[in-house]
Amino acid sequence: MSCPAMAQLLSNTLYYKRFFPYYAFNVLGGLDSEGKGCVFTYDAVGSYERTGYSAQGTGSTLIMPVLDNQLKSPSPLLLPVRDAVTPLSESEAIDLVKDVFASATERDIYTGDKLEIVVINKAGTMREYIDLRKD
């Protein structure tokens, strides 16, 4: 199943439960038909959009401003809207994710004790687990 089709399936599943929602704020990532990375972000009732990057959960209010700053995302208020994200190498992206989660963990007690990073590329997937602050 393609990533955009999976995005629609997740949207339908969340929307079906809109009167008694799961209250899960999901992020779905994968590769599209052109082999490019795609990230979809959702609200509790299934509304979604494709973005260059996203964060959900209690630490997202701490993580997103750092990602916006580091990835130089243009303001959504600028017209015409430009979809520009600074390209990073795989190792740079992993280091950035580790840094923003370490920072969020220091300031948000509800952010978990472990981080699972999943790298998705044409060769397959790679998982890495990182221990965060344990308190």
pLDDT at 76: 65
The Cβ-side half-sphere exposure at 15, using a 13 Å CA radius, reads: 9
Do the Cβ atoms of 7 and 26 come closer than 8 Å? Answer: no
Is 81's pLDDT higher than 70? no
Assign residue 40 a region (left: φ > 0; alpha: ψ between -120 and 50; beta: otherwise).
beta
Q: What is the pTM of this model?
A: 0.83
Q: pLDDT grade, residue 70 (50/70/90)?
A: confident
What percent of the chain has pLDDT above 70? 90
Q: How far apart are CA 97 and CA 53, in angstroms?
A: 11
Residue-wise pLDDT tens digits, 10-51:
999 999 999 998 888 899 999 988 888 899 999 999 999 999
